[in-house]
Structure 1
Amino acid sequence: MHLAHGIITSKVQSTAMEIVTISETCIKPSSPTPSHLKTFKLSKHHQHSPDIPFFVIFFYPASSIICSTDHDDRYLNSSQLLKEALSKTLTSFYPFAGRFQNDDTIICNDDGVLFIEARTATHLSDFLTHPDLMPLGNHLISAASISTDAEKTIELISNSSLLHVKFTLFGCGGYAISISMTHKIADAASIVTLIRNWTASCRSSNRNIGPIVLPDLSILGRTISDPGATSSVTSKSTNSWGPPNNKECSSKRFFFSASKIDQLKTQVVSEIGKSPSRVDVVLALIWKCSLAAASRNSPMFRPSIMLHVVNLRPFMNPPLQETCLGNLGWQFPIMVENESDMDLHELVKKLVAMKAYAHEMTKSFHCDDQQDIVEEVLEEVEKERNTFFRNNWKKDIVFYVCTSWCRLSLYETDFGWGKPVWVNNTFKPNSLMVNAISLMDSKEFGGIEALVHLYEEDMSVFECNEEFLQFAAVNPSII
């Protein structure tokens, strides 16, 4: 395993917990990337994807971690195992260990990924009884916490690493593992592919279980033999989504049990003629109630657009494997112009129709090269989306964006000490993402957790909506 190491002690504090950073390490691929793979040219779509981070964090209770040693020794052993397995995994995911040369090229010189070790005296059970999104977003996610006198080399690693990992020890002996990646080259499915390979490598140390998945890089980009063929201008992708002012924002967690979701489905199935998905009914209810909050002081109905991010892979013809790396989230705009369209079944119909349209649209694209097909589809979607916004732009329109991590089997993530007690894909607090909704499977089979990020004044109305509270529990205990 190749490491660049820096020992750092720093503290970050919130009202709920104090986190101490123990060290920050650069994990390099265990085998050097061959010279002919050093220059990785991103596909056209990924050249223009936004360079913004997204996160996922796993929590493991001490009861699932069987070991005779004390907490500190066990943590060090577990951390070493994670590093060694990640180093092996990066040989197949070598672009993730590289650095952007510019918006169209990754130089795969095995510079490595940032691995942060941290600890807190807080017990995991105390945190999970009253989950607090502030320390979760500010301190437990895998963002660097370099002190001003830290080594310059480690500071450079933290600023340029495409993948961050943070491994936190709780006072009770439980663990949290957070993973952060840039949306420029990855999405939720890409992170899951990496995690499945990484966890299999961890478990193979004491059992005969090798990597169960290997990545397909063909959609993300291609290696090129002539580095001079890349652009020489360094630029930075930016994310244009965000609030146009400095209003305070608020993130809240809501839980929908399987039985409550079934009740929602029952409400709409007679109107739409078939049973909708869990995601469709939950998203429709959140959209309806959040728009009501945003429109409370308006003299007339405010139109709204939902940008629903859909995984492109299963919509292609033939479908792409989930192991295809890249940012293949497909933003479809869905419009609500009239107050009569805000009935729950009408919103569900719009969401169902959007997916049907996506299936139909992709059938018309055929060629021999998968990357070319994807590029053509995405180019056509972009054209249609631009036309949609030109034709439907209104001054007082309310935008929302939704991503779904459902059906990704994240609760099966086993690094060798059992399955997580909780998985969360938190937003970074006070980020530019507003009117954003993230859906994820709950630990309870068939349930959904929703993380909703609204303006603070809208959230105070939204979370008290009586219709919404018939189906949603506000930040219930995990344990």
Structure 2
Amino acid sequence: MEISIEKIKPSTPTPRHLQIYNISQLDQMIPCVYVPLVLYFCSDNSNNNNDDRIQHLKESLSRTLVTFYPFAGVIRDALSADCSDQGLPFFVAKVKSQMKDFLRNPNFEFINKFFPRECDMEKQPGPGDSVMLIQLNCFDCGGIAMSITFAHYIADMSSVSTFLRCWAANARGLGFISQLSPLLCTAQSSFPQNPSFPNKLIPMLNYLKYSSRGKFVTRRYVFDASALSFLKAQLNSSAASRVNVVTGLVWKCFMEAVAEETNGKPFLMAQSVNLRKRAVPPFPEDSFGNMIVVPNIVCRSPQEKELGDLVWEVKKGVENIDGEFVRRLEGGGLGEYLEELRNEMPQQANVLVFSSWVNMGLNEVDFGWGKPVWLSGYITQNSESETVAVCNCVTLMDSRDGGIEASAIFDLKYVAGFEKNDLIRSYAHVNPTVI
């Protein structure tokens, strides 16, 4: 692919007092890793030449970065970013194919090419590395696959969604950015940084003790809206959310797929929960940074658990993160809570980690040529060789019809058993066409 690069800086210089961005204590709970996202926009058939569109995106991005200045900075150390307007690396690549051909049969290995070569998802970013990188992959037909890669310890996906929607509104000429107040750093005031916080309490580092080497592959499962409605009716779970139901179903099928080699080990399920709406009063939706916690649910006798029971356990685990819980964390109880989580974790376990991007507005991002027809996230690099030790994990996203798409990274040895499960065969489509 032909690739060009330009660093996009904020249209107005970042004030000196904002040039060091210090993360919050909640951010400290997140490993310094890059998180990738791709938004796919089909051509509107009016103009297959993207030159004007690209220039307009660069100009509107520059204006947007005035508010979201950390994304134009670089990593300073484990606790801060240098926001001296170094510039957000903006790549443009030419893809010699038609987007419709790709979307009819999504090729996961090809998706890796949509990210800048400078991004190695298998390595931790370090001092001097960009907080965010963007690459526009322009197909011959005029379609665009926009990849966004960001340092997770600086922001969560909710923050990135706010950034993308503001950028899109600015690109459409809505004047939204000029009306924004300065970056809302609610997390820093409610959960001030603690430089002496022990690494042993970071949840994701604790999950790694359960990880194993294997051939990990990315699989895509789509639960359409009608299937989820029918399933909720069957389970008499009208009070459960789409995320509750899909999480419970995937977890059950995963446990059954690995049951033969559990050797009595319990199953541990971890899921990220957004604190913004759960605080009383709620934190602003556009609060920047990581405002998530990751509670655990342990299942010691999976053979005794029906799907409805698991959906209820998932729902209850999320509902425990309520206003009183958030007040406890704000009152200095974060360390105590994480110590409790660590002590509750079994010595050995089969772990499955969930992350939900549902209802974050990513499907509503519109730069003026329509909303994205598809989203994709992290893709395993090579399914043919044994990878570094990782955990089995699932990312949930909205599908176009109101259903949910699950992007799963599983050890290859579990995939066949997972996909032959009657629940998957009845309610999910495996890597269906996007268009």
Q: How does 1:454-465 map to 2 (within 5 A)?
A: 454-465=410-421
SS of 1:426 mapped into structure 2: coil
Letter matched to residue 388 of structure 1: E
> Structure 1 residue 111: deviation in Å?
0.6
Per the alignment, residue 150 of structure 2 pairs with 181
Deviations 1:197-221 (A, max 9, x none): 11111111xxx54337556432354
Per the alignment, residue 386 of structure 1 pairs with 342
- Checking the alignment, whether the CA contact within 8 Å between 2:280 and 2:323 is kept in structure 1 is no
- Checking the alignment, whether the CA contact within 8 Å between 2:270 and 2:295 is kept in structure 1 is yes
2:243 maps to 1:286: no
SS of 2:417 mapped into structure 1: helix
Letter matched to residue 184 of structure 1: Y
SS of 2:294 mapped into structure 1: strand
Per the alignment, residue 443 of structure 1 pairs with 400
Once structures 1 and 2 are overlaid, which stretch shifts more, 187-196 or 20-29? Answer: 20-29
> Structure 1 residue 447: deviation in Å?
0.7
Aligned pair partner of 1:253 in 207, 214, 220: 220
Cα 1:434–1:134 shift into 2, 3 Å: farther
State the TM-score, normalized to the length of structure 2: 0.88
> Structure 1 residue 384: deviation in Å?
2.4
SS of 2:358 mapped into structure 1: coil
Structure 1, unmatched stretches of 5+, are 1-19, 147-155, 223-229, 366-372
Q: How does 1:320-339 map to 2 (within 5 A)?
A: 320-339=283-302
Aligned pair partner of 2:22 in 41, 62, 70: 41
Deviations 1:382-424 (A, max 9, x none): 13212322xxx143x1011001111122221111111122122
- Checking the alignment, whether the CA contact within 8 Å between 1:362 and 1:377 is kept in structure 2 is no
Deviations 1:104-145 (A, max 9, x none): 222221111111110111211110000111211x11135537
Aligned pair partner of 2:374 in 390, 401, 422: 422
Per the alignment, residue 474 of structure 1 pairs with 430
- Checking the alignment, whether the CA contact within 8 Å between 1:40 and 1:221 is kept in structure 2 is no
> Structure 1 residue 40: deviation in Å?
2.4
Instruction: Find the aligned partners of 2:299 and 2:54 in 1 and give their Cα distance.
Output: 49
Q: How does 1:338-349 map to 2 (within 5 A)?
A: 338-349=301-312
Instruction: Find the aligned partners of 1:85 and 1:142 in 2 and give their Cα distance.
Output: 21
State the TM-score, normalized to the length of structure 1: 0.80
Instruction: Find the aligned partners of 1:429 and 1:214 in 2 and give their Cα distance.
Output: 40
Cα 1:428–1:323 shift into 2, 3 Å: farther
Letter matched to residue 154 of structure 2: I
Per the alignment, residue 176 of structure 2 pairs with 210
Structure 2, unmatched stretches of 5+, are 383-387
Per the alignment, residue 79 of structure 1 pairs with 54
- Checking the alignment, whether the CA contact within 8 Å between 1:305 and 1:335 is kept in structure 2 is yes
> Structure 1 residue 292: deviation in Å?
1.1
Q: How does 1:5-404 map to 2 (within 5 A)?
A: 20-62=1-43, 64=44, 66-67=46-47, 71=48, 74-136=49-111, 138-144=112-118, 160-204=129-173, 208-211=174-177, 216-221=183-188, 240=205, 241-242=207-208, 244-269=211-236, 275-298=239-262, 301-359=264-322, 361-362=324-325, 364-365=327-328, 374=330, 376=332, 378-389=334-345, 393-395=346-348, 397-404=349-356
Instruction: Find the aligned partners of 1:433 and 1:244 in 2 and give their Cα distance.
Output: 5
- Checking the alignment, whether the CA contact within 8 Å between 1:97 and 1:110 is kept in structure 2 is yes
Cα 1:128–1:348 shift into 2, 3 Å: same
Once structures 1 and 2 are overlaid, which stretch shifts more, 156-165 or 308-317? Answer: 156-165
SS of 1:161 mapped into structure 2: coil
> Structure 1 residue 157: deviation in Å?
11
> Structure 1 residue 378: deviation in Å?
3.4
SS of 1:346 mapped into structure 2: helix
Letter matched to residue 296 of structure 2: P
Instruction: Find the aligned partners of 2:141 and 2:128 in 1 and give their Cα distance.
Output: 32
> Structure 1 residue 432: deviation in Å?
5.6
Cα 1:466–1:139 shift into 2, 3 Å: same
Instruction: Find the aligned partners of 2:358 and 2:181 in 1 and give their Cα distance.
Output: 22
Instruction: Find the aligned partners of 2:181 and 2:366 in 1 and give their Cα distance.
Output: 17
Cα 1:141–1:432 shift into 2, 3 Å: farther
> Structure 1 residue 462: deviation in Å?
1.1
Instruction: Find the aligned partners of 1:159 and 1:42 in 2 and give their Cα distance.
Output: 16
Cα 1:432–1:58 shift into 2, 3 Å: farther
Instruction: Find the aligned partners of 1:30 and 1:428 in 2 and give their Cα distance.
Output: 36
Per the alignment, residue 9 of structure 1 pairs with none
Instruction: Find the aligned partners of 2:51 and 2:66 in 1 and give their Cα distance.
Output: 23
Cα 1:159–1:218 shift into 2, 3 Å: closer
Deviations 1:324-367 (A, max 9, x none): 011122101001011344310111111111122111642654xx
Letter matched to residue 102 of structure 1: D
- Checking the alignment, whether the CA contact within 8 Å between 1:276 and 1:352 is kept in structure 2 is yes
> Structure 1 residue 93: deviation in Å?
1.0
- Checking the alignment, whether the CA contact within 8 Å between 1:219 and 1:374 is kept in structure 2 is no
